[in-house]
Amino acid sequence: MTFKRNYFAAVAITLVAAMTCRAEFQANTHTSSNQANPVIAVDASGNFVVVWNSYLQDGHSNGIFGRRFDSNCTPLSEEFQINIKTSGNQKEASAAMDAAGNFVVAWYGPGIIEEDKEDIFARRFDANGQPLGEEFRVNSHTIDRQLCPDVAMNGGGGFVIVWESMGIIAEGKRAVCGQLYDSTGLEVGDEFVVNEEFYDCRNPGVAMDAAGDFVVVWLRNRSSKLVTARLYHSDGTAKAEPFEVNTVRINSLTCPSIALSDEGHFVVAWDGDPDRESLDDIHAQRYKPNGTAVGEQFVVNTTLAGPQQNPQVAMNNRGRFIILWDSKIDPNINERDIFAQRYDIAGGPLGDEFQVNTYITDDQKRPSVAIGQNRNYVMAWQSYGQDGSGYGIFGNSGQMVGSADFNSDGLVNFNDYCILAEEWLKSVEPLTADLIDDNKIDEQDLAEFCYQWLNADR
């Protein structure tokens, strides 16, 4: 479609409010004791599920619970228990959702056989939140401990789960293992080892693109602390050898986070400092689909006081991404807040870093973030004392960019362009055409306006 046709046709676009949720929402309704370690997954329409572990709710240490929400952060269900086996400790859940809203949750729990200390379990659900069968064990190597699962899913429902495995390649060493599944939940191939070296490897993360290709990241070697990545084809075969991500060595342990666009562009985020954990910053590196680095690694946070830790990254189908982390500015007070920074497809910041949580009493930490295809991102974290008893799970959402339908007539056309032109290069409030929410009108707003004008159907 030519620019001229768009010019005279006045394209229609979906109207999106500046902020889908204008206040924080609470995910958990059971508030006794601690609800912690939330993860979040979203479908193409912006509907999402929040999953967490809840202490003593099922009568046995931690259990895995979840709750579904629509794109306006309105609950679609009551909270529900995901794990069937309740004895022992079920923890460290991960969740992923396909375009239609089907989702899978993985976690670790007590092993099935006596000599197996922990196993990785998973359970599938349809778009209405109904279980698709029982929970199942993921790992086939069942000796010693299997920990720290992470799951990624493509738009069609195929998924991959990665985890730490003790003793599979060397006694006393941790390896990163994986298992691929098709959209019906059937295994594709056998369990595989991601790292081929005899290093101690831990804290894996994984992300999958639209074609089912995926990338695994992990922390290699407790002493050298290298963030490492490896690319895979959709059939589970490796594309290349593992490669190092961080060019600046870090002193503290980190859990790297990864996100992919539909086309396979990806970004990795991690926390660290060359000298001390108390000086941690959030670092990131962008990559092309073939694993070629784009530019140098960069520091995400502009707040430099205190440790900035636990980054989580999400990327939309256009390659825009957002990174969340928790920030402890005062080292003498054990309280954190959640901060975020948005980025455009070229890796440039969209506005400034901003504080996510509006409830600022006590401690907020362990954030999670996901992006749907409706330009919205949704976040969750654990907040101490906000629900009256220990930690609870809270969240919020926002937009990567605003709607270019400035006059709210359901169209993006020349009338909206005139509003943008009238405000061009202004930096006062209020600004109707501020699509980036950075209190100014410049080339970023113009570029986004042109995209929405010419691509109303995308």
**CATH code of the domain in which 428 resides:** 1.10.1330.10
Instruction: Looking at the structure, tell me whether residues 382 and 440 fall in a common domain.
Output: no
Instruction: Clarify whether residues 179 and 301 are in a common domain.
Output: yes
Pair (306, 427) in one structural domain:
no
Number of domains the chain contains: 2
pTM for the structure as a whole: 0.91
> Do 55 and 6 lie in a common domain?
no
User: pLDDT tens across 220-272, in order?
Assistant: 976 678 999 999 999 999 999 999 999 888 888 889 999 999 999 999 999 99
Span 266-318, pLDDT tens digits: 999 999 988 887 889 999 999 999 999 999 999 999 988 889 999 999 999 88
172 and 237 housed in the same domain = yes
Domain of residue 295, CATH code = 2.120.10.10
Q: What does the pLDDT look like over 67-105, one tens digit per residue?
A: 999 999 999 999 999 999 998 899 999 999 999 999 999
| 289 and 336 together in one domain | yes
How far apart are the C-alpha atoms of 302 and 298, rounded to whole Å? 11
- From 365, 399, 433, give the residue that closes a domain: 399
Residues 442 and 365 reside in one and the same domain: no
The answer, yes or no, to whether residue 18 has pLDDT greater than 90, is no
353 & 455 share domain: no
273 and 414: one domain? no
212 and 74 in one domain? yes
Q: Which domain holds residue 136?
A: 20-399
CA 247, CA 71: separation in Å to the nearest integer? 38
Arithmetic mean of pLDDT over the chain:
90
113 or 366: whose pLDDT is higher? 366
**Are both 306 and 442 inside the same structural domain?**
no
| 57 and 179 inside one domain | yes
Domain-ending residue, one of 356, 378, 399: 399
| 370-384 mean pLDDT | 90
Q: With beta carbons less than 8 A apart as the criterion, state whether 298 and 283 touch.
A: yes
Write out the chain in H/E/C secondary structure: CCHHHHHHHCEECCCCCCCCCCCCEECCCCCCCCEEEEEEEECCCCCEEEEEEEECCCCCCEEEEEEEECCCCCECCCCEECCCCCCCCCEEEEEEECCCCCEEEEEEEECCCCCEEEEEEEEEECCCCCECCCCEECCCCCCEEEEEEEEEECCCCCEEEEEEEECCCCCCCEEEEEEEECCCCCEEEEEEECCCCCCCEEEEEEEECCCCCEEEEEEECCCCCEEEEEEECCCCCECCCCEECCCCCCCCCCCCEEEECCCCCEEEEEEECCCCHHHCEEEEEEECCCCCEEEEEEECCCCCCCCEEEEEEEECCCCCEEEEEEECCCCCCCCCEEEEEEECCCCCEEEEEEECCCCCCCCEEEEEEEECCCCEEEEEEEEECCCCCCEEEEEEEEECCCCCCCCCCCEECHHHHHHHHHCCCCCCCCCCCCCCCCCCCCHHHHHHHHHHHHCCCC
